[in-house]
């Protein structure tokens, strides 16, 4: 009986030492859990850019120049000289604005290989509303968050008070405002005005 107890104690002692053995090259789980791995987060996709400055020294009848930044690169509207532009002022709370957006996206898609560019400028709205709206409703053309100063510059350039939205400006290749459209229009209406100037 005494030998049996000694034998059991020896077997128990050997089994304890073998549990702690590690094979070389196998990392210790405890060490793995204590090291923090840095995981790169993908950059947030920008759904829109905010207008940063407006040039009020423009000739009457010509589109005002303004700028915005994207990924630390500055852009100006007048860089589009030589292209026809459709500039649509809208807001997330405006039913007619949202109704015409699918047509505007189709126009933008159909004219991708032409000298044409489209901008949607959100005004009279909170920036958070714009961000949330675009997360739920992606738009395929460039969206900018506008300022009252920008609205005023367009009013001065066109000679028309922007009292309602949507308000859309068609700009020819020489930066001249050739059409000011208050209220929503159909795809065909927009397309005929754009094609006259392409």
Longest dimension (CA), the chain: 112
Q: Is the pTM of this model over 0.85?
A: no
Structure tokens at 15: 């089994």
In order of their start, the domains of the chain are 49-195 (3.40.30.10)
Structure tokens at 179: 């059409």
pLDDT at res. 39: 54
Q: What percent of the chain has pLDDT over 90?
A: 72
Whether 10 shows a pLDDT value over 60: the answer reads: no
Going by pLDDT thresholds of 50, 70 and 90, the confidence category of residue 56 is confident
Whether 17 shows a pLDDT value over 70: the answer reads: no
- The whole-chain average pLDDT of the chain stands at 84
pLDDT at res. 59: 83
pLDDT at res. 71: 83
Going by pLDDT thresholds of 50, 70 and 90, the confidence category of residue 45 is low
Q: What percent of the chain has pLDDT over 70?
A: 77
Q: Does residue 86 contact residue 98 with C-beta atoms inside 8 Å?
A: no
Going by pLDDT thresholds of 50, 70 and 90, the confidence category of residue 44 is low
Whether 173 shows a pLDDT value over 90: the answer reads: yes
Helices (H) and strands (E) in the chain, counts: 6, 8
Q: What is the mean pLDDT of residues 24-45?
A: 50
167-171 and 142-145 strand pairing: unpaired
């Amino acid at each position: 009986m005494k030998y049996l107890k000694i034998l059991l104690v020896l077997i128990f002692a050997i089994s304890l030492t073998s549990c702690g053995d590690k094979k070389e090259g196998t990392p210790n789980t405890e060490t793995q859990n204590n090291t923090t791995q840095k995981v790169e987060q993908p950059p947030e996709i920008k759904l829109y850019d905010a207008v940063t400055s407006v040039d009020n020294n423009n000739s009457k009848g010509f589109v005002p120049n303004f700028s915005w930044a994207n990924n630390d690169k500055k852009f100006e509207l007048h860089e589009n000289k030589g292209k026809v532009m459709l500039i649509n002022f809208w807001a997330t709370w405006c039913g007619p604005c949202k109704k015409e957006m699918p047509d505007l996206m189709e126009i933008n898609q159909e004219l991708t290989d032409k000298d044409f560019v489209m901008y949607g400028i959100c005004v009279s709205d909170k920036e958070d509303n714009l961000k949330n709206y675009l997360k739920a409703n992606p738009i395929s053309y460039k969206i900018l968050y506008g300022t009252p100063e920008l609205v005023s510059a367009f009013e001065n350039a066109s000679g028309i008070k922007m009292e309602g939205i949507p308000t859309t400006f068609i700009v020819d290749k020489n930066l001249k405002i050739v059409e000011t459209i208050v209220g929503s229009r159909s795809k065909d209406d927009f397309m005929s005005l754009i094609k006259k100037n392409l």
